[in-house]
Structure 1
Amino acid sequence: MDPLDIVGNLSNIKPAYQPVFSAVKHDIIGYEVLGRIDHEGVWKSLGGFFQDSQVPDEFKLEVDTHILSIAIEDIMKHDDKKLLFINRNAKELMVEDGETFIEALQPFVERGFSLNRIVLEITEHDFDEDFESLNHLLLYYKTYGIQIAVDNVGAKSSNLDRLRQLEPHILKVDSKVLRDNDSSGYQDIIYSLSMLARRIGAALLFENIEDSFQLYYAWKHGGRFYQGFYLGEPSYHFLDPFEKEFLIKDQVNSFIRREKGVIEKRLEFVLKWDQCLRELLVHWDGPKRADSFLDKVTSNFNFESFRMYICDSNGKQISSNFRQRNDEWIKEPEILGTNWAFRPYFLENMMQMKIWNKGRLSDLYSDIETREMVRTFSFPLSDHHFIFIDIRYDFIYENESLLM
């Protein structure tokens, strides 16, 4: 439609509401407000209008303000305390130094509407604008209690520094990216975002959830809020807050059962390897005979491991590398004396093994040498010496519990 036809027919425009669900109580905590226009008897999305860079920002602002006013009126009549998620782009917000947005909200504040129920969504793409001015404006909005959400994080290589500086309340992750991207690379992005969210106190909201797998992914990766057609399509009225409670609760219970099974199986491997090494401890005769001890260990890990070695409590390697090649264990004495204490968590893991006197299994990580995803099982031989057994990728791949 022609932008002038849209701006000139505000009476044919109204908001649609897509519910946002909580991972805590499985209820609706708010609605994203989406624009719709009646075109020849058919309600159509205004997404194209708002995304068109050729449409003047003043036009978009006028339509957005109209939709926002109706949405707040609706939710106040409904006597609901739910949140309203409002989409705005940076240029639109910058009109008249951002005061237009506050002025549009002020009449409702005077009638008792609390601005902490507004979640203002901007996209990560908006960071390409004048970020400093945008950051100052959003800080100003925060003083009114308005919450900030950043949309489409993870769709590109996220600018984590700017996200950290902005400190939004919510990070919105697009679940569609799961289908469109290399899963291992996307896993790394999600991990980084979840760590950042924890550091800045932000919640993760997974949107565009269209099936059970995407809901599982959101749940497993710490999503506090869920949104998507699988749970609720946009509609022109507000729903019963617990309309999808049984669906979400049933799905989450199945996720929990599955996750417990995976964890239990993984711990069985840890206990098995721990017991194996405890039985072999009778052969441990100190650091001078470290290679001799490894000679006795290797045959017990023919299927699981491709490399093992022993370090002291300062991270210095006191044995050769024992590496499996063509079903034979080969010694690599040239590695003797190297120090691995620089690796993240290395010293902390050794201290935990020393204090708790039990083996530990690392998270999945990419081995620097082989570039394959591996895990390392480590075990205390004494208070000052520790064995490290690298688990081969093909064994991990064959055992789902080690992949997760």
Structure 2
Amino acid sequence: MDPLDVMMHVDNIKPHFQAIFSADSHEVIGYEVLGRLELGTETISLGHFFHDPNVPDDFKMEIDQQIQDLALQRYMNEKINVDLYLNVHANYFTTDKEDEFLDHFLSYQEKGLDLTHIVIEITEQEFHGDIELLTHTLKYLKTLGVKVAIDDLGTGASNLDRISLIEPDILKVDLLALQNESMSNAYHGVIYSLSLLARKLGAELLFEGIESNYHFHYAWRNNGRYYQGDFLSSTTNQFVSKTILRERFRHDIQQFIQVERSKLTAKFQLTANLNKQLYEQWRQIRKNRSLDEQIDSLAKAMEHIFFRVYVTDEDGFQKTVNLIRTETGWIWDETVKGKNWSWRPYFIENVIRMNEERNGILSDLYNDIETGERIRTFSYPIDQSLYLFLDISPMYLDENEDLLW
């Protein structure tokens, strides 16, 4: 709809609410306020209006204020005691109308609004002003009890430095990209990074765009505390019962736990089996040959599992060639001998673990630098100062689906 048409129907713009659920209580813990234009029997989302860079900020602020006023009045009149999430364009806080906006918002505190139940949602990607002014205003609001959420993470290029400066209470991750298979592999890495960022910042993860049970499970296993989407509760002009999905949550999460236990069991069993097989295979290999020849024999004996094998010392210097399986057989890559891999994630930690436990370690799932495919690596100590690294082939992982999580 044309922005001018929206402005001509201001009286028909109403707040709608989408429930947000919690993993720990299984109850509604908040509502996001979303603007809707009601024309007869038609209800039109205003998302495009607010995200269109060609719409003047004055138009957006006027509509925003109307939606928020109506939402806050209903929220207070109906004595709702869960959080209310208000979408606010971050640029508002760095304009000459900042004081006007804040004064109007804070006037509700004088009317009895508990600010500890208010969450301000901003989209960091769309912010183009002075980050210091923004962080100053948001920190002031936080001293009053207001919480801050960063919206639309996972859908575009976010600036992690700016997010860290804002110190949000909630990171809101959009699962829309999961519906695009061409993006999904890279997206898993983005979600993992956001999960680590949330932990470092002491923030909670809220997953929105949950459209299926798969999305729900994905959000749960990626450390989501809060959930939002049409699969759980659609956007309506009414508040719903806090306990509307309590039993369904309990049932679904119990199923998720069972699935996760099955996958973890598969990983533990693979780790135990590989430790046993490598111990037996390494014992049988003649040690009167070069280290390159020894791992060549090992690689060929276990080629149904691994596609790349090499050895480093405890400081990460590669002591052998890379043994790489191709369609025509195993090849030796001499170019990597002597390179140092101590910079890789968990390398030093895993070497210490192998020394202490005298057992091999199965890595998490990651994208291989060389092939771009998702793989796992098994690390195994062959003596006090030498360590085998064996990359498990994508084909083997595909045949054992429990290992693909």
My pick for the range that moved more, 152-161 or 36-45, is 36-45
Residue in 2 that maps onto 1:213? 214
- The residue identity in structure 2 corresponding to 1:133 is L
* SS, match of residue 182 in structure 1: helix
Identity %: 38
- The residue identity in structure 1 corresponding to 2:305 is E
My pick for the range that moved more, 25-34 or 171-180, is 171-180
2:316 is equivalent to residue 315 of structure 1: yes
Give unpaired runs (5+ residues) of structure 1: none
My pick for the range that moved more, 155-164 or 287-296, is 287-296
**For residues 38 and 338 of structure 2, what CA distance do their matches in structure 1 show?**
75
Alignment of 1:69-84 (within 5 A): 69-84=69-84
**For residues 2 and 320 of structure 1, what CA distance do their matches in structure 2 show?**
64
2:239 is equivalent to residue 238 of structure 1: yes
**For residues 331 and 325 of structure 2, what CA distance do their matches in structure 1 show?**
6
Residue in 1 that maps onto 2:280? 279
Change (3 A) 1:333 1:38: closer
- The residue identity in structure 1 corresponding to 2:190 is I
My pick for the range that moved more, 137-146 or 201-210, is 137-146
Once the 2 structures are TM-superposed, how far is the Cα of residue 32 of structure 1 from its aligned partner?
A: 0.7
Alignment of 1:13-32 (within 5 A): 13-32=13-32
**For residues 291 and 110 of structure 1, what CA distance do their matches in structure 2 show?**
77
- The residue identity in structure 2 corresponding to 1:113 is L
Once the 2 structures are TM-superposed, how far is the Cα of residue 27 of structure 1 from its aligned partner?
A: 0.8
Residue in 2 that maps onto 1:175? 175
Residue in 2 that maps onto 1:85? 85
* SS, match of residue 128 in structure 1: coil
8 Å contact from structure 2 (residues 285, 298) kept in 1: no
Q: Deviations over 1:45-85 (max 9, x none)?
A: 44454345555433433333233233223222333321111
8 Å contact from structure 1 (residues 205, 224) kept in 2: yes
Q: When the two structures are aligned, how many residues end up with a matched partner?
A: 404
Change (3 A) 1:351 1:288: farther
- The residue identity in structure 2 corresponding to 1:138 is L
Residue in 2 that maps onto 1:390? 391
Alignment of 1:226-265 (within 5 A): 226-265=227-266
* SS, match of residue 127 in structure 2: helix
Once the 2 structures are TM-superposed, how far is the Cα of residue 245 of structure 1 from its aligned partner?
A: 1.7
**For residues 225 and 79 of structure 1, what CA distance do their matches in structure 2 show?**
22
Alignment of 1:2-401 (within 5 A): 12-40=12-40, 42-53=42-53, 55-180=55-180, 182-283=183-284, 290-291=291-292, 293-326=294-327, 328-332=329-333, 335-401=336-402
Give unpaired runs (5+ residues) of structure 2: none
- The residue identity in structure 2 corresponding to 1:228 is G
* SS, match of residue 323 in structure 2: strand
Once the 2 structures are TM-superposed, how far is the Cα of residue 395 of structure 1 from its aligned partner?
A: 1.7
* SS, match of residue 86 in structure 2: strand
* SS, match of residue 238 in structure 2: coil
**For residues 187 and 207 of structure 1, what CA distance do their matches in structure 2 show?**
16
Change (3 A) 1:236 1:266: same
Relative to the length of structure 1, the TM-score reads: 0.89
Change (3 A) 1:320 1:153: closer
8 Å contact from structure 1 (residues 378, 388) kept in 2: yes
Change (3 A) 1:73 1:290: same
- The residue identity in structure 1 corresponding to 2:98 is G
Change (3 A) 1:365 1:46: closer
Change (3 A) 1:336 1:153: closer
8 Å contact from structure 1 (residues 17, 32) kept in 2: yes
**For residues 205 and 255 of structure 2, what CA distance do their matches in structure 1 show?**
21
Relative to the length of structure 2, the TM-score reads: 0.89
My pick for the range that moved more, 139-148 or 103-112, is 103-112
**For residues 156 and 6 of structure 1, what CA distance do their matches in structure 2 show?**
27
CA-atom RMSD, angstroms? Answer: 2.8
